[in-house]
Structure 1
Amino acid sequence: MKFKKILLPILLLAAPSCLIAQISNIEKDSLYLVEVEDQKEPDKVLHAEPLYIDLIRDLGARKGEKEWNIGLGLTDNLSFDSYEALIEYEWAPMDRLGLEVELPFTFYSSVNGTPRETIPSHKLNSIKVAFQWSFFVNEPMATSMAFGYINEFELSGFKDFGRPLVTGNVYNPFFVVAKRWGNNFHSLIYTGPMFEQVFENNTFHTAYDINTSFHYMIPGTRNFIGVEFNKTLQKNDFDMTMRPQMRLGIADNLMVGIVAGIPIDRENERISSFLRLIWEPKHRN
């Protein structure tokens, strides 16, 4: 990779403009990898990040990176529809460390004549704060690993907002490992337990998430197509949702992610959809 860093700029300077206009997608991929991985320190490996269960920050984050996300989603349940909305800000205050603050909202609409009083109240679900530390970044192996922690302060619904304000807390440590195969194929595992504490009766609910994703980055672009498998285990119950997805670059610093949700083994949820708008301020060309 260090050889490419030296050779590619020389070849581009020496090539006539007509030849530069015909750079192959493979060469574009190589240039983009050099841009992400070799032009700055410390080392960083380019990985495709899942769009639904996203990371706190890029694996191998570099100081000064930042990103805004706005998400909108719709889930078709048996007796009501739920509409998701979220806004999140993530940034890297130092190399390898990512931080995030997220505000996720959910709004509900009854279907099939379901009485309004029997469905959940609209709410700001929680205030989520998180960190992620990339402790292993290896360019020759195209592999990165990280651990992190998400804390959710769960809030009451708008109907009873403030009575009390905070109804519980979710403790969620997690582990991530990602591998790129060649220039375009990406795989990632994101896993960890979730411990939910309900303050009213001081009870705990435990679940374990195993999220796997596979992506193919379109040659010569930052666009990709792929799929997430979001799996949750709790007591004797197992739920899984398959989420085919695609990411499209609208501008150099603006992308949109489109996700569909197909429940494989989920009792009360049907088809869902999710849209994520990703803005990277001062993104480097």
Structure 2
Amino acid sequence: MNIRILKASALMLIATTHTVAQNQNSIKDSLFINEIEDSQEPPKVLHAEPLYIDLIRDLGARKGEKEWNLGLGLTDNLTFDSYEALVEYEWAPIDRLGLEVELPFTFYSPLGEQSKETTPNNKLNSIKLATQWSFFVSEKIATSMALGYINEFELSDFGSFGDPLIKGNVYNPFFVIAKRWGNNIHSLIYTGPMIEQNFASSDFHFAYDINTSFHYMITGTRNFVGVEFNKTIHNHDFDMTIRPQMRLGITHNIMIGIVAGIPVSRENERFSSFLRLIWEPKEKKHH
């Protein structure tokens, strides 16, 4: 009889402990979400932002928010390796409006003597200026939507830098919709056309991007694991790269993102990797 009572007590203790743990996790999530979605400020929904095709600023951005990004990447092509590097600054001058300036570099390394002649020259790819306006933010349904535009001034490579300085322009309007499902599951769609203009030939090239992402945010933190599906349609050709990823908080305002790239239907590109260092400077308080 005593053994039965002990077993029953043990089972009740385990069940109670499990329930308490679940409640604590729920409280942690609720506290963290409430920290972001402060009802005393303009409405804002906590969303997980993809790490490779990142947003101009948080959806529902609040005035004064700002962020520095440093990105480093490696892509294994058939005849050469390409190394990405980018410096990016984004900020919100007013509520719900994000602005961004980005300088993306690419450096190339041939994989053999025969490929040296066909390897592109190193370059500062472009000067990218971007804006994003969150026109819909609903805490009730945990959904946000935004319209944005990126203008990319394409530059000549270092071998002919300044001749000309700006060789073309890329026009890239886009639309974003994101939803959080419960406390932990996040989904996002980022889509829009890219129109590239070559100033020398006056040619235009059109492509359409459809980027979807899904993330699981760890309870009570900003850490997440997830995946991006980066899809491009160009001249009736379809390319897709799957990018599994994770984000880790180093301190309260420094995070690191780690991304792997797995091409599905790219003829000249193999595996890639990308690292993003994110720093959110503290806002200055005026007394």
Query: TM-score when scaled to structure 1?
Result: 0.90
Identity of aligned residues (%): 76
Paired residue for 2:208?
A: 208
Q: Describe the superposition over 1:178-224 as per-residue Cα deviations: whole angstroms up to 9, x where unpaired.
A: 00000000000000000000011000000000000000001121100
Measured in 2, the distance between the counterparts of 1:171 and 1:40 equals: 37
Aligned partner letter, 1:196 = E
Paired residue for 1:199?
A: 199
Paired residue for 1:13?
A: none
Q: Indicate whether 1:114 and 2:125 are aligned.
A: no
Q: Which has the larger radius of gyration?
A: 2
Q: Following superposition of structure 1 onto structure 2, how do residues 46-57 of structure 1 map, counting pairs within 5 Å?
A: 46-57=46-57
Deviates more, 1:113-122 or 1:47-56: 113-122
Q: CA deviation at 1:115?
A: 3.4
Q: Is the 8 A contact 1:253 1:283 kept in 2?
A: no
Paired residue for 2:253?
A: 253
Q: Indicate whether 1:274 and 2:274 are aligned.
A: yes
Measured in 1, the distance between the counterparts of 2:170 and 2:40 equals: 37
Measured in 2, the distance between the counterparts of 1:24 and 1:102 equals: 41
Gaps of 5+ in 1: 1-21
Paired residue for 1:73?
A: 73
Aligned partner letter, 2:221 = T
Q: CA deviation at 1:25?
A: 2.5
Q: Is the 8 A contact 1:254 1:279 kept in 2?
A: yes
Q: CA deviation at 1:117?
A: 2.6
Q: Is the 8 A contact 2:189 2:210 kept in 1?
A: yes
Paired residue for 1:240?
A: 240
Q: Is the 8 A contact 2:83 2:106 kept in 1?
A: yes
Q: Following superposition of structure 1 onto structure 2, how do residues 56-205 of structure 1 map, counting pairs within 5 Å?
A: 56-205=56-205
Query: TM-score when scaled to structure 2?
Result: 0.90
Q: Following superposition of structure 1 onto structure 2, how do residues 6-85 of structure 1 map, counting pairs within 5 Å?
A: 24-38=24-38, 40-85=40-85
Measured in 2, the distance between the counterparts of 1:230 and 1:121 equals: 26
Q: Match of 1:24, SS? A: helix
Q: CA deviation at 1:41?
A: 1.2
Q: CA deviation at 1:23?
A: 8.2
Q: Is the 8 A contact 1:252 1:283 kept in 2?
A: no
Q: Match of 1:163, SS? A: coil
Q: CA deviation at 1:112?
A: 3.4
Aligned partner letter, 1:108 = Y
Q: Is the 8 A contact 1:80 1:114 kept in 2?
A: no
Q: Is the 8 A contact 1:91 1:99 kept in 2?
A: yes
User: How many residues get paired?
Assistant: 263
Gaps of 5+ in 2: 1-21
Measured in 2, the distance between the counterparts of 1:260 and 1:135 equals: 32
Measured in 2, the distance between the counterparts of 1:109 and 1:204 equals: 29
Root-mean-square deviation (CA, aligned residues, Å) is 1.4
Q: CA deviation at 1:71?
A: 0.1
